[in-house]
Structure 1
Amino acid sequence: MSVSLRHLTCLAALLFSAVPAFSQSSSNGIAAIVNGNVITKSEVRDAVNAQEQMLRMQYQNDPGALQRELSSMRATALDGLIDRELVLAEFKRMGAAIKSQWVDDDVNGIIRESFKGNREAFVKELAESGMTLKKFRDMREKMMIVQAMRGKQAAEQPPATPAEVEAYYKKNVAKWRSGDMIKISTITIAKFSGEASATPASQRKMAEEIHSKLVKGADFATTAKTYSQDSHAEDGGAWDWMPRDQMKPSIANVAFNLKTGGLSGVIDDEAAYIIIACDAIKYGNSKPMNEVRQEIERAISNEKSKVVIDKWMEGLRKKAVIKKNGW
């Protein structure tokens, strides 16, 4: 995928719309009706396709996180499109309008920045991805309306207080810390052991049974020597000290959320099921609060805005007539 097409996909995803991934013969039944406006199943599929591309690029080094994000996105795709229709309907009800020149300036800015001002190349790439210039322009207009309406609701939030900044810093101090190291022990059960009777499902069941034994007090090292199938099994599953930034993100995220002596659940990690025991942690140094104060204040402002917007959206949903058929 070229850089410019990735950019277009990203823009489309902001609207829960996207470059079509299905042929014209795909089912185009009704996924939902919002105040009389139809959302088709193909629209939902297109939205899912666009966001899948974004997530796969974003989480290419963390398969576990990718699967969680994909599941969450697929479950909420239709609701996202419904919310967009509600906002657009509210904009229309208010009698508001967006100047055509603003939309034209926005599209021209994309052509200038992503295609070096070559309008012909921009239109050609749209056509190759199954999208017309008019459709793309309409998408951008809807996105601008939604952003403006959400921004209007979130405007004029009170600034973060010193107490809020301090509380946020303490809760999220790991974000600004570097040099963390950890000692862990692992029990690894391969999804495909080579035995004819073994399946991923049966191997997961074995991992869960092992986990149950550990929870009931079984010695981790002895259990690892008996069941684990990784290179550290003979050492009771024990690993040497490891810096966080050299660990696989899906493993590090679980391990560093454990307390010393803590035990993880069964982790589904690509080709294996893994159980982690945290043996010891050494935390690195964190940036002082004053160095990250502006970042914290922005984060708190975003959280407050989200609360307001969520409340506003809930009000729109309650007033609307929505029929969901699924997709």
Structure 2
Amino acid sequence: MMIQQQTLPAAFVLAMWVTQSPLIGVAAPIELNRIKAVVNGEPITQTMVDSAVQTQVQVWLMGNKGMVSKVEAEREIRRMEGSALDDLIDRNLILSEFKKLGGQIKDQYVDESINRFITERFKGDKDKFIAELKKSGMTIAQFREIQRDQIAIQALRSKHGGEENVPNTPWEKRAKYGEIKDEFASEGQPKVRIISIPKQTSTSNLQAQQKVLEEVLGKLRAGGDFGEIAKKYSADSFASKGGYVGVLGKDVLNEGLTKAAYSLPVGQLSQPLDSGINWHVLKVDERIGQKTPSFEELEEEIDKRLTIEKRQKNLEGWLKKLRRDANVRIYDN
């Protein structure tokens, strides 16, 4: 059955009447829980979604403590929150399919999974693992059930993802090489041009100079010649040379501009960069000494990426079929 998205029926909303409305003199409802979806007659509530996210975050943080930056951790948590309902629906469908097939996960496999987790994440220190588990508010029994479910889910995902060594055609590999080769190219030194627009001059205030910057950006984005525009508008020592800085060493421009130049693709304009007293626009004409790995050097990586992509496509097809065959309703509330 196709997935349906509906407005939540009032009968499904759990509410508690705790206050009197000053306008109409009756109790005002406060939502305690909401039905987010129903899968084969089983409701998934907001509380269940929140709990699943909390558990997922706890396990992830416990396994990655000290291994990722705060920014990376926040990004991963946002990803978990954003996909929580879909992940929970898929999880329920996969576990239901596993049970339908009569699957069981032996305690031995759960023990091996937990021991591997302790070895990889805590260098075999079981006491440290137990301490972190307590900090997270999770019991060992709960952690075991999470691992048991995860083994079952992974078993079916692996089965329906296809064979690990999926054959890749020469055409597929050449196309993938074209996509990824620049990722592995050595940095090289950029040949840079720059336009510098002062934020203020003796005859022009900040607002007027912002208009100058907008005019410059408009001309550049319309395909105007960078060198000619630099000669006309730029206010630095490179203006007379059409903004040409040359092959950029690490100490020619300030750190922020240098970093921007080294990360800028050839032929593209930078966004306006603020150095305090000026705005700057950069353009990299070419890179000197940049080396792109050959197809042969990247062939193993190419095969690996293509295989992962094909397995993911197979898996997505299987998950879509599970949803089509199930009775799934998602409520827009």
Q: Counterpart in 2 of 1:144?
A: 151
1:298 is the counterpart of 2:304 = yes
Query: What is the CA distance between 1:76 and its match in structure 2?
Result: 3.0
Q: Normalised by the size of structure 1, how large is the TM-score?
A: 0.63
Give the drift of 1:276.
4.7
Contact 1:177-1:286 within 8 A present in 2 as well: yes
Match of 2:105 in 1: 98
Change (3 A) 1:163 1:59: farther
For 2:330 and 2:273, the matched residues in 1 are separated by: 33
Q: 2:317 aligns with which of 288, 311, 318?
A: 311
CA–CA distance in 1 between the matches of 2:185 and 2:136?
43
**CA distance in 2: counterparts of 1:211 and 1:48, whole angstroms:** 46
Tell me, in whole angstroms, the C-alpha distance in 2 between the residues paired with 1:51 and 1:222: 58
Partner of 1:287: 293
Return the alpha-carbon distance in structure 1 between the equivalents of residues 211 and 330 of structure 2: 36
Unaligned ranges ≥5, structure 1: 1-26, 190-197, 199-203
Name the counterpart of 2:6. Answer: none
| Aligned amino acid, residue 164 of structure 1 | E
1:158: how far off? 3.7
Corresponding letter in the other structure for 1:302: I
Pick from 246, 252, 264: which aligns with 1:255? Answer: 264
> SS where residue 83 of structure 2 aligns?
helix
Q: Flag structure 2 segments of 5+ consecutive residues without an equivalent.
A: 1-31, 198-205
Q: 1:185 and 1:83, CA in 2 relative to 1: closer, same or farther beyond 3 A?
A: farther
- Tell me: CA distance 1:45–1:110, structure 2 relative to 1, closer, same or farther (3 Å): closer
CA gap of 1:212–1:29, structure 2 versus 1, over 3 A, is farther
- Alignment of structure 1 residues 103-252 onto 2, 5 Å: 103-156=110-163, 158-185=166-193, 211-217=217-223, 220=226, 235=238, 240-242=246-248, 251=260
* Corresponding residue pairs, total: 278
Amino acid at match of 1:34: V
| 2:39 paired with 1:34 | yes
User: Which of the two has greater strand per residue?
Assistant: 2
Cα distance, 1:308 vs structure 2: 0.9
Higher mean alpha-carbon deviation, 282-291 vs 70-79, is at 70-79
Deviation per CA, 1:159-178: give whole Å up to 9, x if none: 11233223322332123321
In 2: Cα distance, 1:47 partner to 1:223 partner: 56
What amino acid sits opposite 1:108 in the alignment?
Answer: N
1:15 is matched with: none
Higher relative contact order (CA 8 A, sep 6+): 2
Give me the whole-angstrom Cα distance separating, in 2, the residues matched to 1:209 and 1:252. Answer: 22
Superposition deviation, residue 255 in structure 1: 1.8
Determine the C-alpha separation between the residues in 2 that align with 1:317 and 1:146. Answer: 15
Q: Tell me whether 1:79 sits opposite 2:86 in the alignment.
A: yes
